[in-house]
Chains A and B, each alone.
Chain A
């Protein structure tokens, strides 16, 4: 029996992506498909204070990190949950004009989203290359256009966007990330 594992909306979560990649082996699936919305929705600033500590608001908690070694651990937790940790000094944050803030936000999101998708594809290539499990992903309506190109660079993952694909020798799959606005 040809078996398919379908998931969607991982939204930047490192853990969800790794589980998606592991799902083929776990469920003995021949093909794994990610239906869309790969990228996260929020940055979590790790704000450097004058006294050398770092303030972070995450999951309804305000944390003050006093030791530098605490920072990578928290950054991993943030990435696991699907957000993008970003280190920024308090003085820089407070000095933003509205125009500069908007520009910084767009640039940072763009850079971090692409970085994370690249790291995910690298991880998938290591895990899937000799596994015999096929993998399709299709960017969704919450994803930026830039990631289409990056997905095409992968050795083990194929983009399903705007294509008609034959699945398991018996079915055809059509996929698109375009959708009507969410109500």
Chain B
């Protein structure tokens, strides 16, 4: 009889639904280097002197403290609802409700069209292009194409949510494995290629597909310079101080390795601090290595200046379209997967790469609504949100009402994102609002962690992390303080620098509206329950032991 069995008795509830590897995969997909990374890295040229490698590594250093904070909090309170539960039990019900509903529910309405845009420009548009259909490639990048992809994303995510945790874990693992095959093949092609061979292949391909003539490769760089690109840092110009300005862009990609926090109540054994820390840290390190390796290979195969110039020209046409601009030799998103395919000149390889790389998107897409539904569940169980949003339809095994609560506003935001401008400022330029609102929620959680040992001494001292101290200070306080500093700095940068597209009046109004909706919802429910005889303050306070 093993020693472990000797001290355990046969009882229910001791089987782990998710392994350490499952946690790693969920985290690695939440900050995946293809869907989120390639999209975020394309902003690298917009900060003069900013080095992508420096920004990625420095941000990863601070995000490690975010991981540490969450692993410690999960060990103390492994509850479905994550941030909402922690903040509401440690800080206050109102803070937990407002920050979590904005950060995990309302802002995901904006993330819907961002997911849709990524699906359009990284999957559908390049596939249409390699099949030789240039008008379809352009359509998928257009407003109509992005809107169609956003609606498709909503449908796909609704189906994935009905999988349940066990099937979802299997699905995301398959996606991760297939996506990794695509990424490894892409990197190998880039590693064995030269810039001259890419230039020749690119010029030939743009001629065949988009009817471009002459040296498109050089033309893209000339267009970027003419459009205002200057001060581009070289691959190895480390420039720490100027590179800090890139971190608010990079955060779009790597800020959320802890995105699974709201699900941990459903993961058996999730209060194992070391296990969570290990899974999340491996995910962060693994993703950071993939990103840095990618930069080196892009520079090797495409040329650093060309790749950044292509990105600069693409976003220039999306956000500052000028009808007098001459037709671009390459008018779609410069996806590194597409470029790797072009290098081979083989349609089968091109399709193989784009399809396998798309699995980074499919595996990641579930993260759009899963967390939102869990926050709604947790709030509904607290009677501060309608209970019907916690219902799971027995026939479809799916939280239909919660999905509708996400899908309908997401469809409206998709319309705004695809078609609407305010006085010449496109709604789609508010993309980083989606990260800012999440960072503010993380800031709330980091403060929660920092004060937990003092405000909820009972919970802290009875938890597995009570012994972790540095110089007599609880580790969770130190980790929370560093994370809070990082989130506050990011928020300040987004709010104070117009390059991020966040600090214009329309963007600010949109975010304020989201916070106001959350505040109204909270106090309306509190008042409604008071009339029914419930004191909501007692939901968030703890029952005395004696």
Contacts and interface: CB of A to CB of B under 8 A. Distances in A.
Interface of A: 1, 3, 15, 18-19, 22-23, 26-27, 41-45, 59-61, 77, 80-81, 93, 96, 98, 101-102, 104-105, 109, 141-142, 181-182
A96 B273 CA distance: 32
Contacts of A43: 6-8
Given A22-B546, A26-B544, A60-B272, A98 B467 contact: no
Contacts of B6: 43, 96, 101, 104-105
Contacts of A15: 462, 545
B543 A23 contact: yes
B462 A77 contact: yes
B274 interface: yes
A61 B464 contact: yes
B12 interface: yes
B2 to A, nearest CB: 9
Contacts of A26: 538, 543-544
Given A19-B543, A22-B546, A59 B13 contact: no
21 contacts: A1-B533, A3-B533, A15-B545, A19-B543, A19-B545, A22-B546, A41-B9, A41-B11, A41-B13, A42-B9, A43-B6, A43-B7, A59-B463, A59-B464, A61-B467, A77-B462, A101-B6, A102-B1, A105-B5, A105-B7, A142-B11
A13 B206 CA distance: 69
Contacts of A59: 463-464
B14 interface: yes
A141 B12 contact: yes
Interface of B: 1, 3, 5-9, 11-14, 272-274, 462-464, 467, 533, 538, 542-546
Contacts, number: 65
A44 B545 contact: no
B196 to A, nearest CB: 56
Contacts of B538: 26-27
B8 A41 contact: yes
A113 to B, nearest CB: 9
B546 A18 contact: yes
B462 A96 contact: no
Contacts of B9: 41-42, 105, 109
Nearest to B464: A59
A92 B160 CA distance: 53
B461 to A, nearest CB: 8
A22 B545 contact: yes
Contact of A98 (B1, B463, B464): B1
B1 A22 contact: no
B544 A42 contact: no
A182 B13 contact: yes
A101 B8 CA distance: 12
A104 B464 CA distance: 28
Nearest to A44: B7
B4 to A, nearest CB: 10
Contacts of B11: 41, 142
Contacts of A109: 9
Contact of A96 (B1, B464, B542): B1
Contacts of A102: 1
Contacts of B533: 1, 3
B464 to A, nearest CB: 3
A11 to B, nearest CB: 8
Contacts of A101: 1, 6
A60 B273 contact: yes
A18 B545 contact: yes
A45 B3 CA distance: 10
A102 B1 CA distance: 7
Contacts of B274: 60
A42 B7 contact: yes
Contact of A22 (B5, B13, B544): B544
A175 B543 CA distance: 26
B543 A41 contact: no
Given A41-B8, A93-B3, A104-B6, 9 more contacts: A1-B533, A26-B538, A26-B543, A27-B538, A41-B9, A42-B7, A45-B7, A105-B5, A142-B13
Given A59-B464, A61-B464, A80-B462, A42 B272 contact: no
Nearest to A43: B7
Contacts of B273: 60
- Ranked 7 nearest A-B pairs via Cβ: A59-B464, A182-B12, A101-B1, A19-B543, A43-B7, A41-B11, A142-B11
Contacts of B545: 15, 18-19, 22
A80 B462 CA distance: 8
A99 to B, nearest CB: 9
Contact of B462 (A1, A81, A105): A81
B54 to A, nearest CB: 36
A112 B206 CA distance: 77
Given A22-B543, A27-B538, A60 B8 contact: no
Contacts of B546: 18, 22
A34 to B, nearest CB: 14
B534 to A, nearest CB: 9
B280 to A, nearest CB: 16
A23 B543 CA distance: 6
A43 B546 CA distance: 25
A1 B273 CA distance: 44
A104 B5 CA distance: 12
Contacts of A141: 12
Nearest to B461: A77
A55 B464 CA distance: 16
A105 B546 CA distance: 32
Chain A CB within 10 A, most for which of B7, B8, B464: B7
A152 B243 CA distance: 71
A23 B272 CA distance: 29
A100 B89 CA distance: 46
A115 to B, nearest CB: 15
Contacts of A77: 462
A145 to B, nearest CB: 14
Contacts of A105: 1, 5-7, 9
